[in-house]
Structures are given as C-alpha cells and as structure tokens.
Structure 1
Amino acid sequence: MKWKGRRQSDNIEDRRGMSGGGKAIAGGGVIGIIILLLNVFGGENGQMVGNILQQTQGQSAPTEQRDLTAAELEEQQFVKTILADNEDVWTKIFQENNLTYQKPKIILFEGGVNTACGSATSASGPFYCPGDQNVYMDLKFFEELKTKFGAQGGDFATAYVIAHEIGHHVQTLLGTSAKMREMQEGKSKAEANKLSVALELQADFYAGLWTNYNQKMNNVLEIGDIDEALSAAHAVGDDAIQAKMQGHIVPESFTHGTSEQRKYWFMKGYKSGDIKQGNTFAEIR
C-alpha cells in the first residue's frame, strides 16, 4: 500500500510507551479471549463487549514507561495516515448524504487499557468502544493474526482492520448500532447473534466502501493489497476461528459471520462504491 508522504491524523493517542496500565483479562493472549468471545477484532457490539470486559477484568499492573522503537514510530505514522484516509473518505460520504462526520480517535496500547466499555488487554483484539467513540488497538495483534490464524499479513490487512473498526463508528453515528441492540431485545440468543452478524458484516462492507473511495481519491492500492484484506477477513470468520479453536463449528453461535460472508461483504463495498448497497440486515436472516 502506498501510504508515505500523505496527510496524517492527529486523532491518535499512542500509549505503547506505558505498559501495564490496564487490567488483566482471563485467558491470556488473543487465543484465550477468542475462546471466551468467539471473536477477533471487534468488540463491536458495545454493550456486549462492555459486559465481557467488565466481567473478565483482573488486577491492575504497575505502569512502566519506555521510549518507542524506530519500528513502532513507523507503525504510528502508518496508523495516522490510514486514520486520515478514513477521515477524508467518511467526511466526503457523509457530505454526499447531507450529514456531518464526527471524527473518532485511535488509542494504541500494549498490555492493558481502560475504556468507557471496561478494561481490556491486547487479548481482546482491536475493538471500537461506542461509549467514548474510540478505537483501541494493540498492534501486536497483527503478528498473531499471521502466526496463529494463518492470515497473509501485510500493511493493507492492518488498513482493513482499522477501516472495519471505523465502520463501527459510522454505525454509531448513523444510529445503526443502537437500533440493532433494540432489535435484539426479547430475541433468542441465536436470533440476537444473527443481528450481531449483520452489524459486523456491514462494518466489513464499510471497509470495502472506504477502500473504493480511498483508491479513487489517493491511488493507494498496490498488487496484492486486496488479497491481504481478504486473507485477514477469511482468518477471522467465525467458522474458521471455531474450527481452529474447538475443532467443530456451531453456526447459531456466530457473531461476526463466516469467512465467505466477510469476504463477500468487503468486496461488495469495494466493487460497488455505493453506501446504499450495504444493508446487511435485509440479507442476513
């Protein structure tokens, strides 16, 4: 992905020099929390994530400070650029629909972090908290995405995950997330999970939509970038995670969608470039 030399967002708080500032979550590592959540990057149903984070928080660890490495500083510059791209694209899309886009913030952390949705560690994976409208990310997640879940990796895989989380911010601004939670009330767990899947797949659609607009605006894509995003989407499908973690698949427990669904909706957003085609709730029944 071509990202250097372009605008960078100031809406980033990098706390990676301050380790141990959050709470410990039971399970340890991305795999441990996935078993609990059946969920990678995403905590995106804010109420659900808030409850889980609160239930699993442990003892506070002492805070230590250190200087960021050259590699970490470059990661920071990359995230700033991708966030700026999201800001520019979503400002344009909202303007096209006579709306005003409100910019979220990305919090980079390592070890642990406190949020309006509760306390978390890197085990939770990247997630969006609607309570403070921040995206929280431990960038070490992307190495585990490759080594433990078989994703191809690459910078555009990271860009896809960021765009997915920003997609949840868009859902908060448009009222989609709140409406989804209302629709879940009184439903069986299986029916409520279907609504959660629709919300997640729409965030994948928004990531694809962002890719379409960003390519037109900045000509950023290189050969293999879309494949990186699709590989990441495949790796974090509910069916792929369940098969790897528990050896069998339980469709009624899906909360994010299958690998094929996640890839389909990302590509639909990318190919269509039309926000009106992202009504996953009408198609996921």
Structure 2
Amino acid sequence: MTFNDNARVGGNTAKRRGRNAAIVGGGTVGVGAIVVLLVGMFTGVDLSGLLGGGGQGQGAPAAESRIEGCDTGADANAKDDCRLAAASLNLDQYWERELDGYRPPQPIIVDGSTETACGTASNATGPFYCPPEETVYVDPTFFSVLREQYDTTAGPLAQLYVLAHEYGHHVQQITGVFDRYPNNGTGPDSNGVRAELQADCFAGAWVADLPEQVDEEGVPFMKEPTTTQLRDALDAAATVGDDNIQQQSGGGVNRESWTHGSSEQRQRWFDTGYEDGPAACDTFSVSGAAL
C-alpha cells in the first residue's frame, strides 16, 4: 500500500516505547523462533480480553517518545514505524465514521520490549492488542523477520492488515463483543476463532475504504491498492492461519486446538469485509460450518 507523498500524517498519536532500541532492525532469527513469533502474535496476548486480561508486568515503566521524522506520506513509504503510525490516522478516521462512540486506542511502537498490563510486549510476542489499556503494541522488527526468513514479502499492505486486525480487537472491546462472547476454549467453532475472523473481516473493510480517507487538507492518505498488494495482505492472513502455523511447527493439523481459524478462513473473512463492509462481519451469528 502506497501513501501519497504529500499527505500530512504528523498528527498521529503513536508513541515509541521500549528499553532495547538498539536491536530494532538488527539480528537474525531462525525458522523455529519465527514460528514462536507467529504463535505469540496470534495466540494468547491479543486474546486477553476473552481470557479476562493478564497480570501487570514487572519493572520500571519504559520512557515514551513521539515517532520522529514521520510527517508526510513519503516518510510513511520509507519507514515501517512511520507507516504504522500514519495508518493509525486512517484507522481512527474510518472507525469514527463507522462506529458511534468510537474512541481511538493508543498505538505503541515497541523498541525491543516493554511491560504492559497484558504482559511483556517484545520481539517474542509480536503485535497485539491489550484490552485493559486499550492499546495496540507493534514491534516493526516482526515484519523484517518475516520478509527475510519466512518466505513472505510482508509488504506495506500486509503490515497494515496486521495493524488493522489489532484495531479490530479494539472495536470488539469497546462494543462489548469480548463480554458477550467470553472464552469458551479452543476449537474451530470457539469464540476465540470467531473473534479473530471478525477482526480479519474488519481489517478487510478498512482496506477497501483506504482511498476515501483524507488528511486535514483533503489529500487522500493512500493510493488505490494494487492487485499485488492485496494478494500480499491475503498471503499474510494465510501465514497466520492455525493450520499453517501447526504445519510450520512440524506437527499435524489439530483443529480442536485452533484459536484463530484456518488460512482459508482468514483470507475469506478478510475478503468478506473488503467486498461487503463491516456489517457483513458478524462471525458470531453464523454456524460453525459457515465459518
């Protein structure tokens, strides 16, 4: 996904936080560790709203700062952290229009690691949403790892899909979805799977609306997504399917342990949102067979 170079994105509220900034963008991680990243990213912490939340992490709070050098669409095209920060403007604009009473979450760009009310946000957990804080945590290192060592491009639109997915969890939090459909275990028909597929659907709805979102001067934030970029986002959705993660971990596919849905389901619900908007994203009203 490409930002218009002259779009103004400096009004974003994203902050940088963490203790180990020196490791961002550096180092290498093996395939086994990447599987751990994927499992951590889409199993556990981002579902703490369904599980009742996590414990407060230990240690002194890390310092926060604004994302420097993130003022224009050209900056967002050049840097992962700015791209994510800039996209938060688009997401807030979209959900303020779609959802009465919407309140923005706090986006945090993680440098290395930081403590949260849902545990530690770090390279080992990947992006997640923390419901008690109403905060989205994203470590941009995750995307460079995927690009370099996991046979996926993890390009700009794939990155924004991940961010939009976490914002989808925020929408679920403030609309009471987590309260109405609490954790009922794992499996292909579980509330956890339904919540994740709904967040994928919300992400697709937002992506379809991207060309309509404009800065304070009326300049569109982004250009129309290309077919290749949409395929990249769908590939990212497939990468984090429960069946794919299980296969990459070296084991067989065990549907009864699923928490997020299959690769096919994640792609299909993203596409449902893209084609039909957020009103089509009620994954809790369909039968298990229709998921």
TM-score by length of 1: 0.79
Report if the CA contact (8 A) 1:104-1:133 is conserved. yes
**For residue 24 of structure 1, what is the aligned residue in structure 2?**
none
Code of the residue aligned with 2:79 in structure 1: it is E
Give the superposition deviation at 1:123: 0.7
Q: 1:45 to 1:197 in 2, by over 3 A?
A: same
Deviation of the 1:116 alpha carbon: 1.5
In the alignment, the residues of structure 2 paired with residue 30 and residue 14 of structure 1 have an alpha-carbon distance, to the nearest angstrom, of 27
Deviation at 1:46, TM superposition (A): 1.7
Match of 2:273 among 253, 269, 274: 269
The partner residue of 1:278 within 281, 284, 289 is 281
In 2 relative to 1, CA 2–173 (structure 1 residues): closer, same or farther, beyond 3 Å? same
**Residues 38 and 242 of structure 1 are in contact (CA less than 8 Å); yes or no, is this contact kept in structure 2?**
no
Letter in 2 for 1:144: V
Q: Which 10-residue stretch deviates more, 40-49 or 116-125?
A: 40-49
Match of 1:203 among 190, 199, 202: 199
What is the match of residue 151 of structure 2?
150
Please tell me whether residue 222 in structure 1 is matched to residue 249 in structure 2: no
Q: Name the structure 1 match of 2:170.
A: 169
Output aligned runs, 1:66-215, within 5 Å.
74-94=79-99, 99-181=100-182, 184=183, 187=184, 189-190=185-186, 194-215=190-211
Q: Deviations over 1:78-125 (max 9, x none)?
A: 12221100011111112xxxx121011111112211112122322111
**Cα distance in 1, alignment partners of residues 232 and 174 from structure 2:** 28
Alpha-carbon offset, residue 278 of structure 1: 0.6
- Identity among equivalent positions (%) equals 33
Q: Give, as a single letter, the amino acid of the residue that structure 1 aligns with 2:281.
A: G
Q: CA RMSD in A?
A: 3.4
- Tell me, in whole angstroms, the C-alpha distance in 1 between the residues paired with 2:188 and 2:242: 15
SS where residue 136 of structure 2 aligns? Answer: strand
Structure showing the higher helix proportion among its residues: 1
Which residue number corresponds to residue 10 of structure 1?
12
**TM-score normalised over the length of structure 2:** 0.78
Would you say how many aligned residue pairs link Structure 1 and Structure 2? 262
One-letter identity of the residue aligned with 1:214:
L
In the alignment, is the contact (CA less than 8 A) between 2:117 and 2:132 conserved in 1? yes
Query: Secondary structure at the residue paired with 1:114?
Result: strand
List alignment gaps of at least 5 residues for structure 2.
22-28, 70-74, 214-219
SS of aligned partner of 2:199: helix
AA aligned to 2:160 is A
